[in-house]
Amino acid sequence: MERTFVLAKPDAVQRGLIGEIIKRLEQRGLKLVAAKFLQVSTDLAEQHYAIHKGKPFYEGLIRYICSAPVMAMVWEGPQAVTAVRQTMGATRPTEAAPGTIRHDFGLEVGRNLTHASDSPENAQAEISLWFKPEEMVDWKQSNETWIS
């Protein structure tokens, strides 16, 4: 089992798409193991996007992530990193495949609705940056009990 870090970015929150994003990840078969709704500080945004410091879009990206609340989540499943990035689609919504979140709800790379970790190593680092160990919920998903 693998875990990955996911953000519903400020545009997703403002547009009322948190539920849609969660719905698609649930339908994919992934399991939610942590979630919190928060206003991101500049400090947290800069740590999260440290890899992009110096790029032309960096300043705008930090302003975007801090511009409204976000929903931060950890999802678990087999190859969760790859699976979530497939469901999100390509970074540029105009290059994302139909049926992906970024395609179905957007057009602008600077308003692309979601973030998802791009490797298991980065997922671990991002999970520890955004969540305390005690905020992770250890639970068993039992379809037999809930679907009959």
- Residues at the contact surface with ligand RTP, assessed by CB under 6 A: 52, 57, 61, 91, 109-110, 112, 115-116, 118
Q: Which is nearer to ligand RTP, 10 or 77 (CB)?
A: 10
Q: Which is nearer to ligand RTP, 19 or 110 (CB)?
A: 110
* Nearest distance from C-beta of residue 95 to ligand RTP, angstroms: 10
Strand-by-strand arrangement of the 31-38 sheet: 31-38, 70-77, 2-8, 114-116
Q: Is residue 102 marked as binding? A: yes
Per 3-state DSSP, what percentage of the chain is helix, strand, and coil (rounded to 5)?
Answer: 50, 20, 35
* Nearest distance from C-beta of residue 143 to ligand RTP, angstroms: 29
Q: Is residue 111 marked as binding? A: no
